[in-house]
Chain A
Amino acid sequence: MKKQVKEDRFQGHDYYNIDALLHDDHKIARDAVRSWVKQEVSPIIEAYSDKAECPVHLFKGLAEIGAFGPSLPEKYGGGGMDEIAYGIIMQELERGDSGIRSMASVQGSLVMYPIYKFGSEEQRMKYLPKLGSGEFIGCFGLTEPDHGSNPSGMVTNIKDDGDAYILNGAKMWITNSPVADIAVVWAKDESGVVRGLIVEKDMKGFSAPAIHGKWSLRASITGELIFEDVRVPKSNVLPGVSGMKGPLSCLSKARYGIAWGAIGAAMDCYDSALRYSQERSQFGRPIGQFQLTQKKLAEMITEITKAQLLVWRLGVLANEGNATPAQISMAKRNNVAMALDVAREARQIHGGMGITNEYPVMRHMMNLETVLTYEGTHDIHLLITGMDVTGLNAFS
């Protein structure tokens, strides 16, 4: 596909010198992923988004730089890094495109993580190195057509059949599903308990059609998972977990990455708007000299800086094993909404050019509409915070 001639001139923004709080390996990881994005993502992303096509070849590159499960132990194909490094990698990938970050966070947090956390040693050794190296692509099946914000109402189910379970049901909005080799699927057993299963693409009765017509995450492939009497060996059931805490712990991991990732998209929009405001002249002076433009830019960098501090602290808590799901919800909700606001303001600063793919802003803006909704909607996360501070459950 045609490469874009325009140079990616992005530079990072660190108004409060948060770099001083990072370790060398965090900064080196950030620079490495930023270089990779400039080399591999920026030149092609507009063309792939335009055609609504997934750059599947990037799975290999993401694996080579170590973007899949960077905080999992090296023995299982991970990078042995800490949670801040994982967050920074997600930030830099989403600086390129939310869809590329989604490819990596699904593979790492929603597929490799549950197999590592809840899988048997045999399952770990069978799947994790191949997922880490990009040989296998994975996807995660929780959301159903009629059960999005209420996943525990799922109807996908398994029935005992000797040495296997018979899986029936359907999952919706599944990132990577049409190109996936395996799916980590959550389904209810005969007593209504949620279990995790590893479903392989060649299993009879399993299909994963693509969903078309998205105006968001156009460079990421999304599909369904359809199970019609799929016979899944019992050895493919994740032995280490039962109940909703299985999928929810995966979501905490992925939401944590999104809280960081959204800052990447916001920084890219801010960076582009700041540069444009200095290069674009109207009424005989750069538009950055007008108070209303400065207000937009000043508020953008203020909100980005607050979000950076939020995830840094969340990262420290995560490294200590003390980040609560509610704290992660707050960061995901705040940072994604922040990024969407920044994208919209940046779009205005770019004027008419802001609606074209000459600049990354409108693509980020459209992507962030998905990010605002997936992995727990903006409103659901608010109610999680509400429940956490009041002790009262608004869901039931």
Chain B
Amino acid sequence: MEQKVAIKIDDLTVAYNYKPVLWDIDLEIPEGVLMAIVGPNGAGKSTLIKSILGILNPIAGSVSIYDKPYKKQRQLVAYVPQKGSVDWDFPTTALDVVMMGTYGSLGWIKRPGQKQKKAALEALEKVGMLPFKNRQISQLSGGQQQRIFLARALVQNASIYFMDEPFQGVDATTEIAIINILKELRKAGKTVIVVHHDLQTVPEYFDWVTFLNVKKIATGPVKDIFNDDNLTKTYGINYKVSIQE
């Protein structure tokens, strides 16, 4: 099966104060996969996503989305940051946060209108948060906040979704709700890339995986490369996990 390449990364190197965080990463991500990025703390998982999205400036390397530089393809890409990256006491409502997903397509100055509101409400419905639309965001639980972030990305109606630890600190119900939405996205032909920590659930949730520890260790279909050998190479200790085929 010949798959189109959604994201192509060449020689990407990122450093904070001379210390390399990502070293010479080459990576091709085919269209339509649900991919986990796994690796130990400090392996550069979030950094990889942030460099692809232009939040961080790499020292070297290039990123292309469907054969064009990322800057020209922004509207194809949506991002779900780590939940802890913002101040949830900010004076705004759930609906308002989800509406922010429409700002990119609106561009400068133009205000969101009825059309944008409708899209935001639909996204809230999809993540099961419609009853909370007028809730002040600090009064949402951690799982609900994560769903709001997911809804904000869904509103962008992108082809490629980047998510930074969407399962961090959420309960089982939310985790299942989120993974179902991710699987739906894949079914619709979208590419979803997730920074993931729970190795146990990788085979169950994802069909593609990238092992990362400053350097790229391996990338490919979960059923081919998610094995003890690669886990040991990535985490540095003999990492025994049971792989459910």
- Chains A and B come from one and the same complex: no
Binding site for B on A (CB under 8 A): none
Binding site for A on B (CB under 8 A): none
